[in-house]
Amino acid sequence: MGESKDLQPKVEKSFEIIGKKWTGLIIYVLMSGPKRFSELSESMPSLSRRILTERIKELEEQGIVVRNVIPDRPIRSEYSLTQKGTELGKILGPISQWAKSWVKD
């Protein structure tokens, strides 16, 4: 593909990030705005809460998702995409369009 060898590790790392099961879907769901953990969980019923917690922590570590604590009573948290996450989410739009056309239920 003519890419420099310096870029290959970065591309490989990006595929590691979005290639983990559920990660792309979590980012896709967060593209519509901040969500509480329960909202994320309800929007992906096949995803266990344990795996959702793991993936969110991984995305936080990568700087893709941020946890915002809302100091109301009761205290609650929302998850949203960082600028880095929003930029990544933009490339998932075309993938969802491809899926709509080509992936069978």
With beta carbons less than 8 A apart as the criterion, state whether 77 and 33 touch: no
Question: For residue 105, what pLDDT is reported?
Answer: 77
pLDDT for residue 1 is more than 60: no
Tokens 């969980």, residue located: 41
pLDDT tens-place string over residues 3-59: 677 788 888 988 898 899 999 999 999 999 999 999 999 999 999 999 999 999 999
In a domain, 89, yes or no: yes
The answer to whether position 84 is within a domain reads: yes
CATH number of the CATH domain containing 90: 1.10.10.10
Q: Would residue 2 count as lying in a domain?
A: no
Nearest-angstrom CA–CA distance, 80 and 27: 9
- What confidence score (pLDDT) does residue 3 get? 61
- pLDDT for 2 beyond 70: no
pLDDT tens across 56-103, in order? 999 999 999 999 999 988 889 999 999 999 999 999 889 889 999 999
Q: For residue 82, give its domain range.
A: 8-102
Cβ burial of 64 (10 Å; 0-12, 13-18, 19+) is buried
